[in-house]
Structure 1
Amino acid sequence: MTLRIVIADDHAMFRSGFRAVLDAQPDMECVADVGDGYSAVEAVTALDPDLAVLDVRMPKLDGLAAARELMSSGRRDLKIVLLTTFGTDDYVRSALASGVSGFVLKSLPPEELVTAIRVAARGDTYLDPSITSRLAPRLADALAPAVPDRDRAPGLDRLTAREREVFLLMATGFSNTEIGEQLYVGEQTVKTHVSRVLAKLGLRDRVHAVRFGHHHGLIEPHDTSGL
């Protein structure tokens, strides 16, 4: 099945480059690329794509407003990923509150942007690793139990020693590239470990990994020790 995508970004060079990346994927097709929020809403309405990638800052109608309009139009199957150059807390809060499926920085490598789209398309939420890392300390107080019990964390005993290392780094907010540098392994190996960790722990995505780690007292803010 081919994933049909609409791109909206007011930077023509970024837009065309990103379109080329998506069209190069065997299971993706960019059905339209536009330069403002109003045009994005019109394109989605006319073409009924599976997913829309919207820049936060656009003329006429910004990405957040366009996302809210599309989400309120009854298009329940539409997935939306927001792009931005600046991942400010206000943007993140507004994006997550609007119910979008992804929030990523444009500085991510192309392969990570594609990953974000795949995660969103399957119904999960993708939050840029750098944002996850910044929010992790603030999530700790809200998510940590009164009496952490590491032994009762469901699925933890199924992880290998290396998978525990990967989980700790992932839940602390490290990207795949950074995890590879920390553990001296290739990025593809990291991706394999991340997939296995999420599957064994029954987690949907990296955001849920952060919640899981803090809820069960497995990690502390800025903690880089072993589990």
Structure 2
Amino acid sequence: MIRVLIADDQAMVRQGFGALLAAQPDLLVVGDAADGAAAVTAARNLNPDVILMDVRMPVMDGLEATRRLTSGPSGGPRILILTTFDLDDYVYEALRAGASGFLLKDAPAADLVQAVRVVAAGEALLAPSVTRRLIAEFAARPQRNRARPVALNALTPRETEVLRLIARGRSNQEIAADLIVAEQTVKTHVGRILTKLALRDRAQAVVFAYETGLVAAGE
């Protein structure tokens, strides 16, 4: 049973998503919250596996709530950011804070249910279209101090190539076609990359690739 917490300042969103998820046999909605501070408190009390987190909320926004919930040694619950069609300004920061993916608020019901399951399984929900827009967002930002590039030495040449393609917004299927290998082989490479670099998921891999300078925005 996947335990879910819904954090959104709109009561209709909380009720609608809650009813939809509660109707699934493998999902249990353990609670909801109307702001980020309440979400942090509820998460610590209710121990959800996945949190649906709106970005723009009163008292404490979803970005700060995400940062607080994922900063512990265990990594905390998986956090799925709820966003509008146009990416919120905070999306890049939410990834850096530890979010595992994004979901459009107007996504079909089946997509919402699948998103919760995907994130609960430890995978990232970062569609190529979102990745490409994230890259554009990154390109518009001032240059940051980059992370330690020595960490990249742990990767094989093929793993480094796969990481570059992930950062450029390629799906596993597209990477497999580019490299002329089986999709399962790509999944294996992705798993090894995450393990070697101590990253939570694909979303964090995209951030890592740009912040270490492995890939430059605009390439």
Q: Residue type matched to 1:132 in 2?
A: T
Q: Does 1:87 align with 2:99?
A: no
Q: TM-score if structure 2 supplies the norm length? A: 0.62
Q: Does 1:201 align with 2:200?
A: no
Deviation at 1:5, TM superposition (A): 0.8
Evaluate the alpha carbon distance shift between residue 13 and residue 65 of structure 1 in structure 2; reply closer, same or farther with a 3 A threshold: same
Alignment correspondent of 1:39: 38
- Contact residue 87 and residue 105 of structure 1 kept, 8 A: no
Number of aligned residues: 169
Structure showing greater radius of gyration is: 1
TM-score (norm: length of structure 1):
0.60
Instruction: Report the Cα distance in structure 2 between the residues aligned to 1:65 and 1:105, rounded to whole angstroms.
Output: 20
Per the alignment, residue 49 of structure 2 pairs with 50
Instruction: Structure 1: state its 5+ residue gaps.
Output: 140-151, 155-165, 172-196, 211-220, 222-227
Residue aligning to 1:25: 24
Tell me the amino acid that sits aligned with residue 29 of structure 2. Answer: C
SS in structure 1 of the partner of residue 90 of structure 2: helix
> How far apart, in 2, do the equivalents of 1:6 and 1:34 lie?
8
Backbone CA RMSD of aligned residues: 3.9
Shift of 1:133: 4.3
Once the two structures are superposed, the pairs formed by residues 34-183 of structure 1 within 5 Å of their partners are: 34-85=33-84, 86-88=86-88, 90-135=89-134, 167-168=173-174
The alpha-carbon distance between structure 1 residues 110 and 102, as it changes in their structure 2 partners (threshold 3 A), is: same
| Counterpart secondary structure, 1:126 | coil
| Runs of 4+, deviation exceeding 6 Å | 136-139, 204-208
CA distance in 2, matches of 1:11, 1:170: 41
- AA aligned to 1:104 is L
Q: Is the 8 A contact 2:56 2:62 kept in 1?
A: yes
Q: CA deviation at 1:94?
A: 0.4
> SS of the counterpart of 1:127?
coil
